[in-house]
Amino acid sequence: MLRLERESSGLAVLTIDAPPLNLYTAALQEELLAAIGELESARPRALLVRAAGKVVSGGVDVSVFAEQADAGQAKVLFDRMLQVPERIAVLPFPTVFAAHGLCLTWTFEVALACDLLVASERASFGLVENVIGLTPTMGGTQRLAARAGVARAKEFVFTGDRYPAETLREWGVVNRVLPAEGFAEAARELAVRLAGGPTRAHAATKRVLAHYERGGVAEANREVTGIAAELFETEDLRGGVRSFLTEGPGKATFNGR
């Protein structure tokens, strides 16, 4: 159901492949958590998350919810489901989600946990839990609000409508909308570019922005100088400075160390 592949470029590619609809199941959940554990223990320089098939996902297999006997049991399930995007969000390297088609519920919530969300012009998105009387449980509501505002998050979840990629780009949710033709390769090229960059600096940027999310500009300002100073212990910064001084800007190569 999942494939985790590593490339010589330093890029890891996590492919969701559970045909025909890539539905979220208990088995897929355990595979996801295992794959994230591999990424945490043997870190790539960047991660691309993608899906095989005609759609990114049709959502969650509703039988997962039917198996919950009461609120206490459901809380245990939801806590474990929430681990997936939460652990992806704090991975110390750039993460890119590529949405080529219909992207409902859990995959959209995972996409919102990634650093960059790129979409095909044919992609559409929805949080449709309202059809069974549920609210999203994997952080999608609040992550959508962080990108697009509370009012738009309410509209999105209340209506359960599907929104095209271009609308979400206008809202600041999708980073880039790319042509359908050649989409997979274009998304991969972006991820490879990030993998080849100063990934220790990218991880530092993620730490600074995490402080901003928790405490605004004031908290980020308290932390940024220490985080940036730590980069002077990396080969990438030392080599980047030498390259700039001897060869000029844009000539440095980075190894993620």
Report residue 172's pLDDT band, with 50, 70 and 90 as the boundaries: very high
- Residue 166: name the closest of 127, 128, 123 by CA: 123
User: What tens digit of pLDDT does each residue of 176-215 get?
Assistant: 999 999 999 999 999 999 999 999 999 999 999 999 999 9
Helix (H, G, I), strand (E, B) or coil at 127: coil
User: What tens digit of pLDDT does each residue of 204-254 get?
Assistant: 999 999 999 999 999 999 999 999 999 999 999 999 999 999 999 989 999
User: What tens digit of pLDDT does each residue of 115-137 get?
Assistant: 999 999 999 999 999 999 999 99
Contact 157, 139 (CB under 8 A): no
CB contact burial 141-167 (16+ within 10 A = b; e otherwise): bebbbebbeeebbeebbeeeeebbbeb
pLDDT of residue 191: 98
pLDDT of residue 18: 96
The angle, 0 to 180 degrees and rounded to 10, between the axes of the packed helices 199-230 and 183-195 is: 30
Residue 169 tokens read as 């780009």
Q: What angle do CA 245, 248, 254 make, to 5 degrees?
A: 85
| pLDDT above 70: percentage of residues in the chain | 100
pLDDT of residue 240: 95
Residue 174 tokens read as 């999708």
Report residue 75's pLDDT band, with 50, 70 and 90 as the boundaries: very high
Q: Tell me how far apart the alpha carbons of residues 112 and 136 are, in angstroms, rounded to a whole number.
A: 13
Entry pTM: 0.96
pLDDT of residue 65: 95
Strands of the sheet containing 102-104, edge to edge, are 102-104, 124-126, 163-164
